[in-house]
């Protein structure tokens, strides 16, 4: 039985095949008969298909298949030609007649039947006047009928209450309140790091006579002195407290579950406990990688302020930022998630995929891409925490350096 989708108009369950093909139409650059074989191959690789339409003016002139392009390449090799010497062959000799056209008003089920009847790899889309309007790829139609449509890339965040996932236009997982709470958590950890360092500096100055607290109240001198290191340490300790707070809170487990769920989605794997559990905890697009790159650059250029240090910092960042970020993800910002945390990731992934499929099949909501990323909500929580802290400091009439 084909899974159904909820119709917002009447509340009845409808088959995905009843939806129009509009959101499945690919509108990438079409081919022309004068295009070289290399351009056709590049387009097929980018689109993931094995055939593409060829147009003349605004009309479809034919179809070019990957297998026919291979024959041209082999023929050129037999003649001693190559893409690096002599004339690069065009695709005019590989253009075949179009087996069928489909209109933009057609349904997915109609497209599936036409693919089956013609055996075509792609179907050009044209209106009643024959004007080219894109093309359908057979695998996209099959994916729509089997609810296998997935976004190419997914982002996410781990909060104290669970996993948040988004593909930009859609989201799934925890509410905005959980994202705001994550910002509050970041603010509290930063404040804790500052208070810990300021308190330790004050105690050391009071008991040992070393002017560490006084150094916090001053600005670094042009020539670095040992006491200036206090100011640099005051920047490092809050970051360390933040990382430790993440590592030993449940956010680290949710962070791992988020990565494992995203890896499963992007690899086309099913979202079940066994599959998500075996996915890697490291993800190449994690913000930890960017934070690691920025931290390495700032530390090196601050500790050794010179053009040479800047150059070396750039080299280190370019060569090692992903490796450093992967190490931090493995040992600091994630940890082995519990079943409950993985279930949170799976629920977020299932919600995201369901909403994404509804969008692709025509139920497109108003755009909220920036809001769906979650950074605005985190910023709100962080700002609220810092404002409340400042209000308390003013109310108590105390002065705390760095806050």
- pLDDT in the model for residue 223: 54
112's CB contacts (< 8 A; 6+ apart) are 17, 141, 142, 145
Distance (Å, rounded) from C-alpha 340 to C-alpha 254?
9
- Cβ–Cβ < 8 Å for 326, 136: no
- Cβ–Cβ < 8 Å for 135, 340: no
- pLDDT in the model for residue 254: 98
What pTM was estimated for this model as a whole?
0.74
Find the range with the poorest average confidence among 129-133, 180-184, 323-327: 129-133
Confidence of residue 176 (pLDDT cuts 50, 70, 90): very high
pLDDT of 311 strictly over 60: yes
Segment (H or E) for 269: none
- Cβ–Cβ < 8 Å for 53, 43: no
pLDDT of 6 strictly over 70: no
Burial 354-381 (b: 16+ CB within 10 A, else e): bbbbbbbbeeeeeeeeeebbbeebbeeb
- Kindly list the domain boundaries of the chain, sorted by start residue: 5-145, 155-281+334-396
Q: Which CATH architecture has domain 5-145?
A: Roll (3.10)
Find the range with the poorest average confidence among 14-28, 47-61, 360-374: 360-374
Nearest to 48 by CA among 32, 74, 34, 28: 28
What's the mean pLDDT in 312-316?
88
How far is the CA of 359 from the CAs of 12, 87, 312, 348, in angstroms?
17, 46, 47, 17
Distance (Å, rounded) from C-alpha 54 to C-alpha 69?
13
Burial 44-54 (b: 16+ CB within 10 A, else e): beebebebbbb
Cα torsion 22, 28, 34, 37 to 10°: value is -120
Distance (Å, rounded) from C-alpha 165 to C-alpha 149?
16
In the chain, how many H helices and how many E strands? 14, 10
Confidence of residue 260 (pLDDT cuts 50, 70, 90): very high
| Mean confidence (pLDDT) of the chain | 84
pLDDT of 286 strictly over 70: yes
- pLDDT in the model for residue 83: 44
Confidence of residue 366 (pLDDT cuts 50, 70, 90): low
Confidence of residue 157 (pLDDT cuts 50, 70, 90): very high
Distance (Å, rounded) from C-alpha 141 to C-alpha 110?
10
pLDDT of 337 strictly over 60: yes
Distance (Å, rounded) from C-alpha 54 to C-alpha 96?
9
Range list of β-strands (E), 58-205: 59-65, 95-96, 122-126, 132-137, 155-159, 162-166, 171-173
Q: Angle between the 228-247 and 176-208 helix axes, to the nearest 10 degrees?
A: 140
Distance (Å, rounded) from C-alpha 123 to C-alpha 134?
9
Measured in degrees and rounded to the nearest 5, phi and psi for residue 289 equal -60, -45
């Amino acid at each position: 039985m084909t899974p159904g989708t909820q119709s917002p108009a009447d509340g009845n369950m409808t088959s995905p095949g009843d939806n129009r093909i509009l959101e499945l139409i690919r509108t990438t650059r079409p081919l022309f008969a004068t295009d070289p074989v290399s351009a056709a191959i590049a387009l097929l690789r980018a689109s993931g298909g094995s055939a593409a339409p060829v147009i003349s003016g605004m009309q479809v002139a034919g179809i070019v298949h990957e297998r026919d392009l291979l024959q041209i390449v082999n023929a050129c090799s037999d003649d001693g030609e190559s893409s690096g010497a002599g004339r690069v062959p065009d695709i005019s000799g590989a253009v075949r007649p179009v087996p069928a056209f489909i209109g933009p008003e057609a349904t997915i089920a109609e497209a599936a039947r036409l693919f089956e009847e013609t055996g075509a790899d792609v179907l050009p889309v044209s209106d009643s006047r024959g004007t080219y309007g894109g093309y359908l790829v057979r695998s996209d139609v099959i994916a729509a009928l089997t609810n296998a449509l997935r976004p190419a890339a997914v982002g996410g965040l781990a909060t104290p209450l669970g996993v948040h996932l988004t593909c930009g236009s859609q989201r799934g997982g925890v509410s905005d309140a959980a994202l705001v709470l994550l910002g509050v958590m970041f603010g509290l950890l930063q404040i804790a790091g500052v208070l810990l360092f300021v308190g330790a500096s004050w105690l050391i100055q009071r008991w040992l006579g070393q002017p560490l607290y006084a150094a916090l109240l001053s600005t670094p001198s042009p020539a670095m002195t040992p006491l200036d290191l206090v100011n640099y340490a005051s920047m490092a300790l809050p970051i360390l407290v933040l990382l430790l707070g993440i590592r030993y809170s449940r956010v680290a487990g949710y962070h791992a579950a988020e990565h494992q769920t995203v890896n499963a989605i992007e690899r086309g794997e099913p979202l079940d406990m066994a599959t998500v559990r075996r996915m890697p905890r490291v993800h190449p697009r994690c913000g930890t990688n960017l934070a690691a790159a920025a931290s390495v650059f700032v530390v090196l250029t601050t500790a050794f302020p010179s053009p040479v240090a800047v150059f070396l910092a750039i080299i280190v960042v370019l060569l090692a930022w992903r490796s450093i970020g992967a190490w931090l993800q493995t040992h600091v910002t994630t940890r082995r998630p519990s079943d409950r945390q993985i279930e949170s990731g799976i629920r977020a992934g299932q919600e995201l995929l369901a909403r994404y499929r509804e969008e692709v099949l025509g139920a497109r909501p108003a755009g909220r891409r920036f809001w769906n990323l979650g950074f605005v909500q985190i910023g709100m929580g962080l700002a609220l925490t810092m404002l409340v802290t400042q209000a308390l400091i003013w109310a108590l009439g105390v002065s705390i350096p760095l806050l």
